[in-house]
Amino acid sequence: MTRNRSKRDANHNDLTKAFEQLGCSVQDLSHAGVAGWPDVVVGCIGRNHLVEFKNPETAYGRAGLNPNQQAFARDWRGGQLYAVTTRDEVMALVQNWRRAA
């Protein structure tokens, strides 16, 4: 994967706080400099989850995963890549992780 200077989505901090308020730990990966790499890794129920933030307020965010992110999701041999756009989606995702545990 190639190096890439990425900038955070406008909702990055809000979505990070939503995970933390639900008792998750969050480590920011947005400045890793690797094209397609997820925005954060979220620790929840003893597992690590890779999460990409998308901002529904922008055309870029509404378009979904870009080609680099799609390639990462396809080629990654670890856990699934999740994408969230809103606090409600964060809540639903955490509830699903907990229900499945």
Q: What is the pLDDT of residues 57-84, one digit of tens each?
A: 999 999 999 999 999 999 999 999 999 9
* Average pLDDT, rounded, for the chain: 92
Identify the pLDDT of residue 49.
98
Identify the pLDDT of residue 6.
60
Identify the pLDDT of residue 47.
97
DSSP string for residues in 63-84: T-S-HHHHHHHHH--SSPEEEE
Dihedral of CA atoms 88, 91, 86, 2 in degrees, nearest 10, equals -160
Rounded distance, CA 98 to CA 100, Å?
A: 5
H or E element: which one contains 81? strand 81-84
Residue ranges and CATH numbers for the domains of the chain are 12-100 (3.40.1350.10)
Check whether 48 has a pLDDT greater than 80: yes
Write down the pTM of the prediction. Answer: 0.91
Rounded distance, CA 6 to CA 28, Å?
A: 12
